Amino acid sequence: MKRHASAIWNGSLKDGRGSLTTDSRVLSTTPYSFATRFESGTGTNPEELIAAAHAGCFSMDLSSRLGHAGLAPEQIDTSAVLTLEKTDDGFTITAVALEVKVKVGNPDQAKFDEAVAKAKSGCPVSKVLNADISVNATLV
C-alpha cells in the first residue's frame, strides 16, 4: 500500500506560501506558510498533520487491540499534542502527548492497559517518530 501527497512552495521561508494536496483530495491546495507553522496564521502545517495522523493511527490501532482482547470498543477519543523545539540540529519534533478517553462495553482495566501499551508502540505513526511518546488513557 502506498499513499501520496504533494507540496508546492513559492518564495522565501518567511514570505513564501505553499499548498498541500493529497490524492484523496481531503487536502486540496490547502494553504500553509511560515505564519501557519510558527505563528498563528490561517492554514495548516506539517506538525499539525502529523499530530492528526498520530491521533487517528493510535485510535485505530487501539480499537483493533481492544477487540482482540475481548473488549468491545464503542468510542475512542484521542487528541495529540506535538512539541516542536529548536535544537542544535534545527527544529525537531521532540514529543507527542496522546490523551485518550475510551468507552468500552465491558471494561477490564488490566486488558485495557495492555492494549494501550501495545498500541503506543505498535501504531505505524508511533514507529516512524523519533520522539518521546506519552499516553494518558482513561476508561470512561
- For residue range 66-120, list pLDDT tens digits in order: 999 999 999 999 999 999 999 998 999 999 999 999 999 889 999 999 999 999 9
How far apart are the C-alpha atoms of 29 and 31, rounded to whole Å?
6
> To 10 degrees, what angle do helices 109-122 and 46-68 make?
140
65 with 32, same domain: the answer is no
The cell for 125 is 505513526
User: What distance separates the 2 farthest-apart alpha carbons in the chain?
Assistant: 55
Is the distance from CB of 8 to CB of 33 less than 8 angstroms?
no
135 with 119, same domain: the answer is yes
85 with 107, same domain: the answer is yes
Q: Per-residue pLDDT for 41 more than 90?
A: no
Q: State the average pLDDT for the chain.
A: 95
- Predicted confidence at residue 40, as pLDDT, reads 82
20 with 50, same domain: the answer is no
Please report the sign of the dihedral spanned by the C-alpha atoms of residue 49, residue 50, residue 51, residue 53.
positive
Q: What percent of the chain has pLDDT over 90?
A: 91
Confidence of residue 42 (pLDDT cuts 50, 70, 90): confident
**Of the listed ranges 24-28, 36-40, 109-113, 134-138, the one predicted with least confidence:** 36-40
Model pTM score: 0.93
83 with 120, same domain: the answer is yes
Is the distance from CB of 69 to CB of 115 less than 8 angstroms?
yes
Closest to 73 (Cα-Cα) out of 88, 60, 90, 85: 60
64 with 117, same domain: the answer is yes
68 with 118, same domain: the answer is yes
What is the rounded average pLDDT of the residues 1-10?
94
24 with 53, same domain: the answer is no
The cell for 6 is 504533494
Q: List the domain range (segments joined by +) for residue 21.
A: 5-38
134 with 116, same domain: the answer is yes
**Could you give the 3-state DSSP secondary structure of residue 18?**
strand
Q: Per-residue pLDDT for 39 more than 90?
A: no
128 with 68, same domain: the answer is yes
How many independent structural domains does the chain possess?
A: 2
13 with 72, same domain: the answer is no
Could you please report the per-residue DSSP string of 76-137? Answer: EEEEEEEEEEEETTEEEEEEEEEEEEEEESS--HHHHHHHHHHHHHHSHHHHH--SEEEEEE
123 with 60, same domain: the answer is yes
